[in-house]
Amino acid sequence: MSGVIDTNLLLYSINRDAVEYNAARSFLEKVATSADSYYLTEGILYEFLRVSTHHRVFAFPLSAQEAWSFLKGVLYFPSIEILGVTKNHWKILEGEIGQEAGIRGNLFFDARTYIQMKEQGIKRIYTMDHDFKRFSDIEVVNPLSP
């Protein structure tokens, strides 16, 4: 079913040492052949590039070329679309700052993804990040849980 794919699922699908590796790969294979639309944001893509190539995160990080090659493959899935921001983005952020408790620091990155979802009417995110549960009007789905 349609939804945003969060960075952590992309990262697990390239990390052969992760327990979640096989399940994450399987999820992406389903996305690749799905008739439904799935979404990424520019922020998610850049976060993947930042984390997957970072020597403090991975003992053997990807090179920039390897990380880009992986992403390029995902971007060519017929089911993948990239979300952008609309002219209402900052107005929506202002409203969310007033409504959603606890948006500060690193949570602004999740808030940005959430606001982009809200702008486009997308109600589901595939992630292992529990922080998205603070946004009560979206469905947070962990596709790797049994």
Q: What is the mean pLDDT of the chain?
A: 94
Single out the residue of 42, 46, 132 nearest to residue 96, CA to CA: 132
Give me the domain span that covers residue 22: 3-85+124-130
Does a structural domain hold residue 104?
no
pLDDT tens readout for residues 54-109? 998 888 899 999 999 999 999 999 999 999 999 999 999 988 887 755 788 888 99
The CATH number linked to 26 is: 3.40.50.1010
Per-residue pLDDT at 100: 58
Distance CA 23, CA 3 (A): 17
Residue 138, C-beta contacts closer than 8 angstroms, at least 6 positions apart:
114, 117, 122, 123, 124, 125, 132
pTM of the model: 0.94
pLDDT beyond 80 at 146: no
Q: Is 57 helix (H, G, I), strand (E, B) or coil?
A: coil
Does a structural domain hold residue 105?
no
Does a structural domain hold residue 59?
yes
Contact 114, 96 (CB under 8 A): yes
pLDDT tens readout for residues 25-45? 999 999 999 999 999 999 999
Does a structural domain hold residue 112?
no
